A and B are shown apart, each in its own frame.
Chain A
Amino acid sequence: MKQDSGSASALNLRTAGILDACELSECSGVPSLRRLRQGPVAVIECSEEIPCNPCEISCPNGAIEVGRPITNRPMLKSDQCSGCGVCIAKCPGLAIFVVDLSAETEDIVSLPYEMLPIPQVGEIVDVLNREGNLVGPGKVAQVATSYGNDRTTVVTLAVDKGQGMHVRALRVKGAEYAQQR
Protein backbone atom coordinates (compact mmCIF):
# COMPACT_ATOMS: atom_id res chain seq x y z
CA MET A 1 0.00 0.00 0.00
CA LYS A 2 1.18 3.50 -0.72
CA GLN A 3 2.22 5.87 2.01
CA ASP A 4 -0.18 8.26 3.68
CA SER A 5 -1.62 10.71 1.23
CA GLY A 6 -2.29 14.40 1.56
CA SER A 7 0.02 17.10 2.71
CA ALA A 8 1.09 15.30 5.86
CA SER A 9 4.32 14.00 4.41
CA ALA A 10 6.34 13.67 7.61
CA LEU A 11 5.88 10.38 9.42
CA ASN A 12 5.61 11.06 13.10
CA LEU A 13 3.49 10.05 16.04
CA ARG A 14 0.47 12.21 15.19
CA THR A 15 0.46 11.58 11.44
CA ALA A 16 1.40 7.91 11.33
CA GLY A 17 1.77 6.44 14.82
CA ILE A 18 5.54 6.36 14.46
CA LEU A 19 7.79 8.23 16.86
CA ASP A 20 10.36 10.01 14.69
CA ALA A 21 13.98 10.46 15.73
CA CYS A 22 13.30 13.91 17.13
CA GLU A 23 10.24 12.81 19.16
CA LEU A 24 12.20 9.83 20.46
CA SER A 25 15.11 11.97 21.62
CA GLU A 26 12.66 14.20 23.50
CA CYS A 27 11.06 11.28 25.40
CA SER A 28 12.07 11.56 29.05
CA GLY A 29 11.69 7.78 29.30
CA VAL A 30 14.32 6.97 26.68
CA PRO A 31 17.82 6.50 28.13
CA SER A 32 21.03 7.79 26.59
CA LEU A 33 23.05 5.73 24.13
CA ARG A 34 25.79 5.58 26.77
CA ARG A 35 23.40 3.94 29.25
CA LEU A 36 22.02 1.57 26.59
CA ARG A 37 25.55 0.34 25.91
CA GLN A 38 26.12 -0.42 29.58
CA GLY A 39 23.48 -3.16 29.73
CA PRO A 40 19.73 -3.79 29.84
CA VAL A 41 17.60 -0.71 30.50
CA ALA A 42 13.95 0.28 30.05
CA VAL A 43 13.05 2.36 27.00
CA ILE A 44 9.73 4.12 27.64
CA GLU A 45 8.32 5.37 24.36
CA CYS A 46 5.55 7.45 25.89
CA SER A 47 5.62 11.04 24.67
CA GLU A 48 2.12 12.42 25.23
CA GLU A 49 0.42 13.82 28.29
CA ILE A 50 -2.08 11.04 29.02
CA PRO A 51 -3.50 10.14 32.45
CA CYS A 52 -1.63 6.95 33.23
CA ASN A 53 0.92 5.72 35.79
CA PRO A 54 1.03 1.92 36.28
CA CYS A 55 4.69 1.97 35.15
CA GLU A 56 5.68 4.16 38.07
CA ILE A 57 4.04 1.84 40.59
CA SER A 58 5.40 -1.32 38.98
CA CYS A 59 9.08 -0.41 39.23
CA PRO A 60 10.77 -2.13 42.22
CA ASN A 61 13.68 0.31 42.06
CA GLY A 62 11.76 3.56 41.87
CA ALA A 63 13.39 4.29 38.53
CA ILE A 64 10.21 5.57 36.84
CA GLU A 65 8.66 8.82 37.92
CA VAL A 66 5.29 10.16 36.81
CA GLY A 67 4.26 12.01 39.95
CA ARG A 68 1.40 14.45 39.91
CA PRO A 69 -0.52 15.36 37.94
CA ILE A 70 -0.98 11.91 36.51
CA THR A 71 -0.73 13.32 32.98
CA ASN A 72 3.01 13.94 33.44
CA ARG A 73 5.13 11.97 31.03
CA PRO A 74 7.13 9.16 32.63
CA MET A 75 10.71 10.06 33.44
CA LEU A 76 13.27 7.27 33.59
CA LYS A 77 16.11 7.54 36.08
CA SER A 78 18.26 5.26 34.01
CA ASP A 79 21.00 4.83 36.63
CA GLN A 80 18.40 3.31 38.96
CA CYS A 81 16.95 1.00 36.29
CA SER A 82 18.20 -2.59 36.45
CA GLY A 83 16.52 -3.59 33.21
CA CYS A 84 14.44 -6.20 35.04
CA GLY A 85 11.51 -5.65 32.66
CA VAL A 86 8.68 -5.78 35.21
CA CYS A 87 7.27 -2.58 33.69
CA ILE A 88 6.97 -4.01 30.16
CA ALA A 89 3.75 -5.94 30.74
CA LYS A 90 2.34 -3.32 33.12
CA CYS A 91 2.17 -0.56 30.52
CA PRO A 92 -1.37 -0.49 29.05
CA GLY A 93 0.04 1.29 26.01
CA LEU A 94 2.58 -1.48 25.31
CA ALA A 95 5.08 1.33 25.05
CA ILE A 96 7.90 0.00 27.25
CA PHE A 97 10.77 -2.13 25.98
CA VAL A 98 14.01 -3.26 27.58
CA VAL A 99 17.03 -2.83 25.34
CA ASP A 100 20.61 -4.00 25.86
CA LEU A 101 23.23 -2.74 23.43
CA SER A 102 26.22 -3.96 25.46
CA ALA A 103 27.10 -7.07 23.43
CA GLU A 104 29.49 -6.87 20.51
CA THR A 105 27.75 -9.22 18.12
CA GLU A 106 24.05 -8.67 18.76
CA ASP A 107 21.50 -6.42 20.44
CA ILE A 108 18.91 -7.68 22.90
CA VAL A 109 15.33 -6.40 22.94
CA SER A 110 12.49 -7.44 25.27
CA LEU A 111 9.02 -6.48 24.11
CA PRO A 112 5.37 -7.02 25.02
CA TYR A 113 3.52 -9.52 22.83
CA GLU A 114 -0.23 -10.20 22.86
CA MET A 115 -0.70 -12.22 19.68
CA LEU A 116 -0.88 -15.90 18.92
CA PRO A 117 0.97 -18.14 18.46
CA ILE A 118 3.43 -17.49 21.27
CA PRO A 119 6.94 -18.19 19.95
CA GLN A 120 9.24 -20.81 21.50
CA VAL A 121 12.67 -20.16 22.96
CA GLY A 122 15.25 -20.69 20.23
CA GLU A 123 12.78 -20.02 17.42
CA ILE A 124 13.75 -17.64 14.62
CA VAL A 125 11.04 -14.98 14.12
CA ASP A 126 10.62 -11.97 11.83
CA VAL A 127 11.34 -8.72 13.62
CA LEU A 128 9.63 -5.46 12.70
CA ASN A 129 10.47 -1.81 13.30
CA ARG A 130 8.16 1.02 14.45
CA GLU A 131 6.83 1.33 10.91
CA GLY A 132 5.91 -2.34 10.79
CA ASN A 133 8.62 -3.10 8.24
CA LEU A 134 10.59 -6.32 8.38
CA VAL A 135 14.14 -5.53 9.48
CA GLY A 136 15.55 -9.02 9.77
CA PRO A 137 15.48 -12.23 11.73
CA GLY A 138 15.49 -12.41 15.51
CA LYS A 139 16.19 -15.33 17.79
CA VAL A 140 13.87 -15.81 20.74
CA ALA A 141 16.03 -15.87 23.87
CA GLN A 142 13.32 -15.85 26.51
CA VAL A 143 9.52 -16.03 26.79
CA ALA A 144 7.95 -14.79 30.02
CA THR A 145 4.29 -15.54 30.66
CA SER A 146 4.14 -15.04 34.42
CA TYR A 147 0.90 -14.49 36.32
CA GLY A 148 1.96 -10.94 37.07
CA ASN A 149 2.22 -10.19 33.37
CA ASP A 150 -1.52 -10.86 33.10
CA ARG A 151 -1.58 -12.49 29.66
CA THR A 152 0.89 -10.07 28.11
CA THR A 153 3.84 -12.22 27.10
CA VAL A 154 7.26 -10.61 27.34
CA VAL A 155 9.52 -11.93 24.58
CA THR A 156 13.26 -11.32 24.63
CA LEU A 157 14.92 -11.33 21.23
CA ALA A 158 18.51 -11.38 20.05
CA VAL A 159 18.65 -9.22 16.93
CA ASP A 160 21.32 -8.00 14.52
CA LYS A 161 23.82 -5.56 16.00
CA GLY A 162 22.58 -2.02 15.41
CA GLN A 163 18.88 -2.97 15.38
CA GLY A 164 18.21 -2.76 19.14
CA MET A 165 16.68 0.70 18.99
CA HIS A 166 14.62 -0.15 15.89
CA VAL A 167 13.04 -3.55 16.58
CA ARG A 168 9.69 -3.05 18.28
CA ALA A 169 7.54 -6.03 17.22
CA LEU A 170 7.81 -9.62 16.09
CA ARG A 171 5.90 -11.88 13.81
CA VAL A 172 6.03 -15.61 14.11
CA LYS A 173 6.89 -16.99 10.67
CA GLY A 174 3.78 -18.05 8.81
CA ALA A 175 1.41 -16.19 11.13
CA GLU A 176 -1.06 -13.87 9.44
CA TYR A 177 -1.95 -11.34 12.10
CA ALA A 178 0.77 -8.88 11.12
CA GLN A 179 0.70 -7.77 7.54
CA GLN A 180 3.61 -7.94 5.21
CA ARG A 181 3.92 -4.94 2.95
Chain B
Amino acid sequence: MKYRETEILVVGGGPAGLSAAIEAADRGAGVLLVDEQKDPGGQLVKQIHKFFGSGRHGAGTRGIDLATQLASKAQKLGVQLLQGMSAVGVFEDSVIFSDRDGSLFRFRASRGIIATGASEKAVAFPGWTLPGVITAGAAQTFVNLYRVVVGQKVLVIGSGNVGLIVAYQLLQAGSEVAGIVEMRPEIGGWGVHASKVRRLGVQILTGMSVKEVRGRDCVEEIVLCTVDQDGTPSGEERIITVDTVCLAVGLSPRIEFPQWLGCRMGFSASLGGYVPLHNSVMETAVPGWFVAGDAAGVEEASTAIEEGRLAGIAAATSLGYGKGTTCEEEIREIRESLNELRLGPFGRERKRAKERVVSEYETG
Protein backbone atom coordinates (compact mmCIF):
# COMPACT_ATOMS: atom_id res chain seq x y z
CA MET B 1 0.00 0.00 0.00
CA LYS B 2 1.22 3.46 -0.90
CA TYR B 3 2.23 5.38 2.20
CA ARG B 4 2.60 9.05 2.99
CA GLU B 5 3.48 11.17 5.96
CA THR B 6 2.46 14.73 6.79
CA GLU B 7 2.37 17.02 9.81
CA ILE B 8 -1.30 17.95 9.55
CA LEU B 9 -3.90 15.90 7.70
CA VAL B 10 -7.16 17.65 6.81
CA VAL B 11 -10.09 15.41 5.88
CA GLY B 12 -12.51 17.33 3.70
CA GLY B 13 -11.99 20.32 1.39
CA GLY B 14 -15.05 22.49 2.01
CA PRO B 15 -14.92 25.96 3.61
CA ALA B 16 -13.91 24.56 7.02
CA GLY B 17 -11.18 22.22 5.75
CA LEU B 18 -9.67 24.77 3.35
CA SER B 19 -9.70 27.50 6.02
CA ALA B 20 -8.05 25.17 8.53
CA ALA B 21 -5.39 24.21 5.99
CA ILE B 22 -4.70 27.86 5.14
CA GLU B 23 -4.17 28.90 8.78
CA ALA B 24 -1.97 25.91 9.54
CA ALA B 25 0.16 26.28 6.41
CA ASP B 26 0.43 30.02 6.96
CA ARG B 27 2.16 29.23 10.26
CA GLY B 28 4.64 26.95 8.58
CA ALA B 29 3.10 23.53 9.14
CA GLY B 30 3.14 20.92 6.40
CA VAL B 31 -0.48 20.31 5.42
CA LEU B 32 -2.07 17.60 3.30
CA LEU B 33 -5.76 18.01 2.52
CA VAL B 34 -7.70 15.03 1.19
CA ASP B 35 -11.13 15.50 -0.35
CA GLU B 36 -13.54 13.12 -2.02
CA GLN B 37 -14.77 15.46 -4.76
CA LYS B 38 -13.21 16.22 -8.13
CA ASP B 39 -12.65 19.87 -7.23
CA PRO B 40 -12.00 21.58 -3.90
CA GLY B 41 -14.63 23.73 -2.20
CA GLY B 42 -17.14 21.20 -0.87
CA GLN B 43 -20.69 22.48 -1.21
CA LEU B 44 -19.39 25.93 -2.17
CA VAL B 45 -18.90 24.80 -5.77
CA LYS B 46 -22.65 24.58 -6.31
CA GLN B 47 -23.57 27.78 -4.52
CA ILE B 48 -24.09 30.37 -7.23
CA HIS B 49 -25.63 32.96 -4.91
CA LYS B 50 -23.86 35.73 -3.05
CA PHE B 51 -22.97 34.80 0.51
CA PHE B 52 -24.06 36.49 3.69
CA GLY B 53 -21.73 37.37 6.50
CA SER B 54 -19.06 39.92 7.15
CA GLY B 55 -18.14 41.98 4.10
CA ARG B 56 -14.57 42.05 5.34
CA HIS B 57 -14.46 38.25 5.26
CA GLY B 58 -15.69 37.62 1.75
CA ALA B 59 -19.46 38.04 2.19
CA GLY B 60 -21.14 39.30 -0.94
CA THR B 61 -18.95 36.86 -2.89
CA ARG B 62 -20.65 33.98 -4.67
CA GLY B 63 -20.00 30.57 -3.11
CA ILE B 64 -18.40 29.18 -6.24
CA ASP B 65 -15.92 32.08 -6.33
CA LEU B 66 -15.20 31.66 -2.62
CA ALA B 67 -14.24 28.02 -3.34
CA THR B 68 -11.73 29.12 -5.99
CA GLN B 69 -10.30 31.84 -3.74
CA LEU B 70 -9.83 29.53 -0.75
CA ALA B 71 -8.33 26.72 -2.84
CA SER B 72 -5.84 28.96 -4.59
CA LYS B 73 -4.85 30.60 -1.32
CA ALA B 74 -4.25 27.18 0.20
CA GLN B 75 -2.14 26.09 -2.76
CA LYS B 76 -0.08 29.27 -2.68
CA LEU B 77 0.74 28.54 0.95
CA GLY B 78 1.96 25.08 0.04
CA VAL B 79 -1.02 22.99 1.08
CA GLN B 80 -1.15 19.77 -0.93
CA LEU B 81 -4.68 19.19 -2.17
CA LEU B 82 -5.52 15.59 -3.00
CA GLN B 83 -8.89 15.35 -4.75
CA GLY B 84 -11.03 12.32 -5.50
CA MET B 85 -10.15 10.30 -2.42
CA SER B 86 -12.48 9.11 0.33
CA ALA B 87 -11.51 8.10 3.86
CA VAL B 88 -12.39 4.44 4.28
CA GLY B 89 -10.72 3.43 7.50
CA VAL B 90 -8.71 4.40 10.54
CA PHE B 91 -5.83 2.58 12.21
CA GLU B 92 -4.23 3.60 15.46
CA ASP B 93 -1.36 5.28 13.63
CA SER B 94 -2.78 6.08 10.20
CA VAL B 95 -5.81 6.79 8.02
CA ILE B 96 -6.71 4.84 4.89
CA PHE B 97 -8.11 6.54 1.80
CA SER B 98 -9.42 5.06 -1.40
CA ASP B 99 -9.34 6.73 -4.80
CA ARG B 100 -12.08 6.27 -7.39
CA ASP B 101 -10.42 3.15 -8.82
CA GLY B 102 -10.26 1.51 -5.41
CA SER B 103 -6.52 1.94 -4.87
CA LEU B 104 -5.76 2.40 -1.21
CA PHE B 105 -3.45 4.98 0.32
CA ARG B 106 -2.19 5.15 3.84
CA PHE B 107 -1.46 8.49 5.50
CA ARG B 108 0.19 9.13 8.82
CA ALA B 109 -0.01 12.55 10.47
CA SER B 110 0.92 14.21 13.76
CA ARG B 111 -2.37 16.13 13.82
CA GLY B 112 -5.67 15.70 12.05
CA ILE B 113 -8.58 18.00 11.25
CA ILE B 114 -12.00 16.52 10.54
CA ALA B 115 -13.98 18.69 8.13
CA THR B 116 -16.28 16.14 6.57
CA GLY B 117 -19.32 18.39 6.35
CA ALA B 118 -22.91 17.24 6.44
CA SER B 119 -25.30 15.02 4.53
CA GLU B 120 -28.86 15.69 3.57
CA LYS B 121 -31.81 14.34 5.48
CA ALA B 122 -34.74 12.85 3.65
CA VAL B 123 -38.35 12.44 4.57
CA ALA B 124 -40.30 9.31 3.70
CA PHE B 125 -43.85 9.30 2.31
CA PRO B 126 -45.71 7.04 -0.11
CA GLY B 127 -44.11 7.54 -3.51
CA TRP B 128 -40.84 8.96 -2.23
CA THR B 129 -38.80 6.48 -4.25
CA LEU B 130 -40.34 7.56 -7.57
CA PRO B 131 -37.93 9.13 -10.06
CA GLY B 132 -38.43 12.87 -9.75
CA VAL B 133 -38.16 13.00 -5.97
CA ILE B 134 -34.72 14.49 -5.31
CA THR B 135 -32.88 16.34 -2.58
CA ALA B 136 -32.00 20.03 -2.68
CA GLY B 137 -28.30 19.23 -2.94
CA ALA B 138 -28.91 16.95 -5.90
CA ALA B 139 -30.99 19.65 -7.57
CA GLN B 140 -28.16 22.14 -7.07
CA THR B 141 -25.62 19.70 -8.47
CA PHE B 142 -27.70 19.13 -11.60
CA VAL B 143 -28.69 22.72 -12.16
CA ASN B 144 -25.71 24.76 -11.00
CA LEU B 145 -22.84 22.40 -11.65
CA TYR B 146 -23.91 20.43 -14.70
CA ARG B 147 -26.55 22.84 -16.05
CA VAL B 148 -29.23 20.21 -16.33
CA VAL B 149 -32.75 21.39 -15.52
CA VAL B 150 -34.22 18.90 -13.06
CA GLY B 151 -37.87 19.44 -13.91
CA GLN B 152 -40.34 21.70 -15.63
CA LYS B 153 -42.56 22.11 -12.59
CA VAL B 154 -41.03 21.61 -9.16
CA LEU B 155 -42.42 21.64 -5.65
CA VAL B 156 -39.91 22.28 -2.87
CA ILE B 157 -40.43 20.69 0.55
CA GLY B 158 -38.97 22.74 3.39
CA SER B 159 -38.66 26.51 3.77
CA GLY B 160 -35.32 26.74 5.53
CA ASN B 161 -32.64 28.79 3.81
CA VAL B 162 -31.65 25.79 1.65
CA GLY B 163 -35.21 25.31 0.39
CA LEU B 164 -35.68 29.03 -0.30
CA ILE B 165 -32.34 29.34 -2.08
CA VAL B 166 -32.78 26.22 -4.19
CA ALA B 167 -36.25 27.45 -5.22
CA TYR B 168 -34.69 30.70 -6.42
CA GLN B 169 -31.98 28.82 -8.31
CA LEU B 170 -34.58 26.57 -9.97
CA LEU B 171 -36.34 29.72 -11.20
CA GLN B 172 -33.02 30.98 -12.53
CA ALA B 173 -32.59 27.71 -14.40
CA GLY B 174 -35.99 28.14 -16.02
CA SER B 175 -38.12 25.74 -14.00
CA GLU B 176 -41.52 26.68 -12.71
CA VAL B 177 -41.67 26.44 -8.92
CA ALA B 178 -45.16 25.35 -7.92
CA GLY B 179 -44.62 26.30 -4.29
CA ILE B 180 -42.57 25.73 -1.17
CA VAL B 181 -44.20 23.53 1.46
CA GLU B 182 -43.59 24.22 5.15
CA MET B 183 -45.08 22.13 7.92
CA ARG B 184 -44.78 24.84 10.55
CA PRO B 185 -47.04 27.91 10.61
CA GLU B 186 -44.07 30.13 9.74
CA ILE B 187 -41.26 30.16 7.20
CA GLY B 188 -38.05 28.55 8.48
CA GLY B 189 -35.37 30.57 6.68
CA TRP B 190 -34.53 34.23 6.44
CA GLY B 191 -37.16 36.68 5.33
CA VAL B 192 -35.00 38.15 2.57
CA HIS B 193 -34.65 34.73 0.89
CA ALA B 194 -38.41 34.18 1.16
CA SER B 195 -39.15 37.64 -0.30
CA LYS B 196 -36.83 36.93 -3.23
CA VAL B 197 -38.97 34.03 -4.46
CA ARG B 198 -42.32 35.39 -3.35
CA ARG B 199 -42.01 38.52 -5.47
CA LEU B 200 -41.45 36.25 -8.47
CA GLY B 201 -44.76 34.58 -7.71
CA VAL B 202 -43.70 31.56 -5.65
CA GLN B 203 -45.99 30.91 -2.69
CA ILE B 204 -44.81 29.40 0.55
CA LEU B 205 -47.49 27.01 1.75
CA THR B 206 -47.17 27.10 5.52
CA GLY B 207 -48.97 24.66 7.77
CA MET B 208 -48.87 21.96 5.09
CA SER B 209 -47.12 18.63 4.67
CA VAL B 210 -46.69 15.92 2.04
CA LYS B 211 -49.17 13.12 2.21
CA GLU B 212 -48.22 11.24 -0.92
CA VAL B 213 -46.55 11.52 -4.28
CA ARG B 214 -48.31 9.76 -7.13
CA GLY B 215 -47.21 8.68 -10.55
CA ARG B 216 -46.89 5.60 -12.75
CA ASP B 217 -43.19 5.60 -13.58
CA CYS B 218 -42.23 9.00 -12.25
CA VAL B 219 -43.66 11.89 -10.25
CA GLU B 220 -46.94 13.10 -11.74
CA GLU B 221 -48.66 14.81 -8.83
CA ILE B 222 -48.28 15.48 -5.14
CA VAL B 223 -50.94 15.35 -2.45
CA LEU B 224 -50.48 17.88 0.33
CA CYS B 225 -52.46 18.08 3.52
CA THR B 226 -52.88 20.79 6.09
CA VAL B 227 -51.36 20.05 9.47
CA ASP B 228 -51.91 21.67 12.83
CA GLN B 229 -49.25 23.08 15.16
CA ASP B 230 -47.92 19.68 16.27
CA GLY B 231 -47.84 18.25 12.77
CA THR B 232 -51.08 16.22 12.87
CA PRO B 233 -52.92 16.11 9.53
CA SER B 234 -56.18 18.00 9.83
CA GLY B 235 -57.96 16.71 6.77
CA GLU B 236 -57.92 19.33 4.06
CA GLU B 237 -55.98 18.12 1.03
CA ARG B 238 -54.62 19.76 -2.05
CA ILE B 239 -53.33 18.05 -5.19
CA ILE B 240 -50.72 19.82 -7.31
CA THR B 241 -49.50 18.59 -10.69
CA VAL B 242 -45.69 18.54 -10.68
CA ASP B 243 -42.92 16.47 -12.29
CA THR B 244 -40.34 17.01 -9.55
CA VAL B 245 -40.38 17.13 -5.77
CA CYS B 246 -37.29 18.63 -4.18
CA LEU B 247 -36.59 17.79 -0.52
CA ALA B 248 -34.91 20.49 1.56
CA VAL B 249 -35.58 19.10 5.01
CA GLY B 250 -32.31 19.67 6.78
CA LEU B 251 -28.81 18.31 7.18
CA SER B 252 -26.96 16.00 9.58
CA PRO B 253 -23.26 16.18 10.46
CA ARG B 254 -21.21 13.52 8.66
CA ILE B 255 -19.74 11.75 11.62
CA GLU B 256 -18.58 8.34 10.34
CA PHE B 257 -14.97 9.45 10.43
CA PRO B 258 -14.93 10.82 14.01
CA GLN B 259 -16.82 7.69 15.08
CA TRP B 260 -14.10 5.47 13.58
CA LEU B 261 -11.55 7.50 15.49
CA GLY B 262 -13.51 6.91 18.68
CA CYS B 263 -14.31 10.55 19.34
CA ARG B 264 -16.69 11.06 22.25
CA MET B 265 -20.02 12.20 20.78
CA GLY B 266 -22.94 14.25 22.01
CA PHE B 267 -26.44 14.76 20.64
CA SER B 268 -27.85 18.11 19.67
CA ALA B 269 -31.06 18.47 17.68
CA SER B 270 -30.33 22.07 16.82
CA LEU B 271 -26.93 21.10 15.39
CA GLY B 272 -28.45 18.35 13.25
CA GLY B 273 -27.76 15.20 15.31
CA TYR B 274 -24.70 13.58 16.87
CA VAL B 275 -21.51 15.66 16.84
CA PRO B 276 -18.01 15.03 18.17
CA LEU B 277 -17.57 16.83 21.48
CA HIS B 278 -14.73 19.33 21.35
CA ASN B 279 -13.04 22.03 23.40
CA SER B 280 -12.98 25.75 22.69
CA VAL B 281 -10.25 25.36 20.04
CA MET B 282 -12.10 22.51 18.31
CA GLU B 283 -9.97 19.62 19.61
CA THR B 284 -11.97 16.43 20.03
CA ALA B 285 -11.67 13.90 22.85
CA VAL B 286 -9.10 12.04 20.74
CA PRO B 287 -5.92 14.05 21.35
CA GLY B 288 -4.46 15.59 18.20
CA TRP B 289 -7.72 15.36 16.24
CA PHE B 290 -9.67 18.56 15.65
CA VAL B 291 -13.08 19.08 14.07
CA ALA B 292 -14.61 22.05 12.23
CA GLY B 293 -17.58 23.13 10.15
CA ASP B 294 -20.79 21.19 9.62
CA ALA B 295 -19.15 17.99 10.93
CA ALA B 296 -19.08 19.75 14.31
CA GLY B 297 -22.72 20.84 14.01
CA VAL B 298 -24.68 22.08 11.01
CA GLU B 299 -24.41 25.85 10.57
CA GLU B 300 -23.43 28.20 7.74
CA ALA B 301 -20.37 28.62 5.53
CA SER B 302 -19.26 31.71 7.46
CA THR B 303 -19.16 29.83 10.77
CA ALA B 304 -17.48 26.85 9.07
CA ILE B 305 -14.71 29.15 7.87
CA GLU B 306 -14.16 30.61 11.34
CA GLU B 307 -14.20 27.19 13.04
CA GLY B 308 -11.77 25.90 10.42
CA ARG B 309 -9.43 28.79 11.15
CA LEU B 310 -9.61 28.03 14.88
CA ALA B 311 -8.80 24.36 14.30
CA GLY B 312 -5.98 25.20 11.88
CA ILE B 313 -4.34 27.64 14.28
CA ALA B 314 -4.73 25.29 17.25
CA ALA B 315 -3.32 22.29 15.35
CA ALA B 316 -0.31 24.28 14.10
CA THR B 317 0.48 25.85 17.48
CA SER B 318 0.26 22.46 19.17
CA LEU B 319 3.13 21.42 16.88
CA GLY B 320 5.14 24.46 17.92
CA TYR B 321 4.35 26.70 14.94
CA GLY B 322 3.45 30.36 15.23
CA LYS B 323 3.06 30.51 18.98
CA GLY B 324 2.84 33.79 20.85
CA THR B 325 0.57 36.71 21.46
CA THR B 326 -0.52 37.23 17.82
CA CYS B 327 -1.98 33.74 17.87
CA GLU B 328 -3.88 34.35 21.07
CA GLU B 329 -5.13 37.64 19.69
CA GLU B 330 -6.33 35.93 16.51
CA ILE B 331 -8.06 33.17 18.42
CA ARG B 332 -9.82 35.76 20.54
CA GLU B 333 -10.95 37.63 17.40
CA ILE B 334 -12.26 34.47 15.75
CA ARG B 335 -14.21 33.54 18.87
CA GLU B 336 -15.73 37.02 18.96
CA SER B 337 -16.65 36.74 15.30
CA LEU B 338 -18.28 33.34 15.89
CA ASN B 339 -20.25 34.78 18.79
CA GLU B 340 -21.49 37.59 16.58
CA LEU B 341 -22.43 35.26 13.74
CA ARG B 342 -24.54 33.28 16.22
CA LEU B 343 -26.53 36.25 17.53
CA GLY B 344 -30.10 37.05 16.53
CA PRO B 345 -33.18 34.83 16.35
CA PHE B 346 -31.62 32.43 13.82
CA GLY B 347 -28.33 31.92 15.67
CA ARG B 348 -29.31 32.00 19.33
CA GLU B 349 -30.20 28.33 19.65
CA ARG B 350 -27.07 27.18 17.78
CA LYS B 351 -24.93 29.32 20.06
CA ARG B 352 -26.38 27.66 23.14
CA ALA B 353 -25.98 24.22 21.55
CA LYS B 354 -22.34 24.94 20.70
CA GLU B 355 -21.69 26.02 24.29
CA ARG B 356 -23.24 22.79 25.51
CA VAL B 357 -20.91 20.77 23.25
CA VAL B 358 -17.87 22.43 24.82
CA SER B 359 -19.16 22.10 28.39
CA GLU B 360 -20.06 18.44 27.83
CA TYR B 361 -16.54 17.88 26.54
CA GLU B 362 -15.06 19.48 29.64
CA THR B 363 -17.26 17.74 32.21
CA GLY B 364 -17.09 14.31 30.54
Contact = CB atoms under 8 A, between A and B. Distances in A.
A5 B195 contact: no
Nearest to A48: B191
A129 interface: yes
Given A14-B191, A128-B200, A52 B59 contact: yes
A133 B185 CA distance: 23
A132 B204 contact: no
B184 to A, nearest CB: 10
Interface string B163-190: 0000000011010111100000111001
A70 B207 contact: no
Contacts of B61: 150
B341 A177 contact: no
B102 interface: no
Interface stretch (B50-58, B90-98, B132-140, B265-273): B50-58
A46 interface: yes
Given A56-B55, A58-B55, A179-B176, A14 B199 contact: no
A151 B48 CA distance: 10
B236 interface: yes
Interface of chain A: mostly helix, strand, loop or mixed: loop
Contacts of A129: 199
Nearest to B170: A177
A13 B50 contact: no
Nearest to B168: A114
B53 to A, nearest CB: 6
Contacts of A7: 185, 207
B4 interface: no
A69 interface: yes
A4 B205 contact: yes
Contacts of A68: 340
Nearest to A152: B50
Contacts of A121: none
B311 to A, nearest CB: 20
Interface in B319-361: 339-347
A36 B97 CA distance: 61
Contacts of B76: none
Contacts of B176: 176, 179
Given A49-B343, A92-B51, A92-B59, A16 B204 contact: yes
A17 B187 contact: yes
A45 B195 contact: yes
Contacts of B196: 17, 93-94
A177 B172 contact: yes
A115 B196 CA distance: 12
Nearest to A94: B196
Nearest to B185: A8
B187 A15 contact: yes
Interface in A1-46: 1-8, 13-19, 45-46
18 contacts: A5-B226, A16-B203, A17-B194, A17-B197, A50-B344, A51-B341, A51-B344, A54-B59, A115-B171, A116-B174, A130-B195, A131-B199, A150-B60, A168-B195, A177-B172, A177-B200, A178-B201, A179-B176
Interface of B: 49-56, 59-62, 171-172, 174, 176-179, 185-187, 190-208, 226, 236, 238, 302, 339-347
Given A4-B206, A150-B61, 20 more contacts: A3-B203, A4-B203, A4-B205, A5-B238, A6-B206, A8-B186, A15-B185, A17-B198, A19-B195, A48-B344, A51-B53, A51-B347, A57-B56, A68-B340, A92-B51, A92-B60, A94-B192, A115-B200, A132-B203, A177-B200
